[in-house]
Amino acid sequence: MEGRRRDRIPAGELRVEPFRENIDVRTFDCGDPDLNSFLTTNEVANYEREGLGKTRLVYWQPEGKLAAYFTVSSESLRLEYLRSVKSFSIPGQIRVESVPGIKIGRLATDREFQRRDIGTHILRYVAGLALQAPAAARILFLEAYPGSVSFYEKFDFEQVVHHRFKHRRTVLMYFDLRRLPEWPGSGRASP
Ligand SMILES: CC(C)(COP(=O)(O)OP(=O)(O)OC[C@H]1O[C@@H](n2cnc3c(N)ncnc32)[C@H](O)[C@@H]1OP(=O)(O)O)[C@@H](O)C(=O)NCCC(=O)NCCS
């Protein structure tokens, strides 16, 4: 991402609301047609209805503008995939096939608000959701667009390399929630 960094937005100026069908989201534009279309067509409502992903809208309170959205679901990742990442480990005597977590299915900031810390606040917020969830979540994971990989790497997300994913146009990345205290700015408030 090029360009001058505009004023950062503090977490306290953001409000997070669950997606509802009667909310007008048609003006949202993050610059990516697929992510725009997910929110501005029936797709988002279908995901909600079918229990496949919960979408939350993030507003910049001073002007009541829709600044970002994200979609999360409870999913797990096969341990076999995580084994490719040296930093991930669980004691050998524990036998599990997969590791529970929160999948960030979609995350997008409107162009007007990009590079102003909103994505950062959202990642912290999602980590908070994962830690407070009634079901265990050890990791956050997502399929990143190649152009967003370095954004997630700033937060120590790591690429999961496995031959099964060789031909995908996205990059599977994960973050071990045990490493949350090491996050930049950890301890700052989330929206
Ligand atoms: C990627 C995206 C979600 C980041 O959200 P954001 O609100 O702009 O992120 P932030 O302002 O919190 O950025 C945090 C840091 O990451 C950097 N960053 C943001 N997007 C980046 C990118 N695509 N590549 C590299 N670094 C990036 C910022 O410059 C900032 O760094 P700094 O603190 O050193 O200045 C947003 O740019 C976006 O919606 N892009 C289009 C859609 C998309 O690609 N979504 C991701 C799908 S996997």
Q: Candidates 151, 169, 175, 183: which one to mutate for ligand 1, based on the most atoms within 8 Å of Cβ?
A: 151
Question: What are the tens digits of pLDDT across the range 78-109?
Answer: 999 998 888 898 998 899 999 999 999 999 99
Mean pLDDT of the chain: 92
CA of 109 to the centre of ligand 1 (A): 8
Q: What angle do CA 69, 75, 76 make, to 5 degrees?
A: 135
Is residue 6 over pLDDT 80?
no
CB of 32 sitting under 6 A from ligand 1 = yes
Confidence category of residue 183, pLDDT binned at 50, 70, 90: confident
For the chain, domain boundaries = 11-182
CB of 151 sitting under 6 A from ligand 1 = yes
For ligand 1, atom 9, the nearest C-alpha belongs to: 119
Is residue 15 over pLDDT 50?
yes
pTM: 0.93
The per-residue pLDDT for 2 is 45
Q: Candidates 115, 117, 126, 143: which one to mutate for ligand 1, based on the most atoms within 8 Å of Cβ?
A: 115
Q: For domain 11-182, is the CATH number 3.40.50.2300?
A: no
Helix locations, the chain, DSSP H: 33-40, 43-49, 79-82, 118-132, 149-153
Is residue 5 over pLDDT 70?
no
- Which DSSP letter does residue 148 get? G
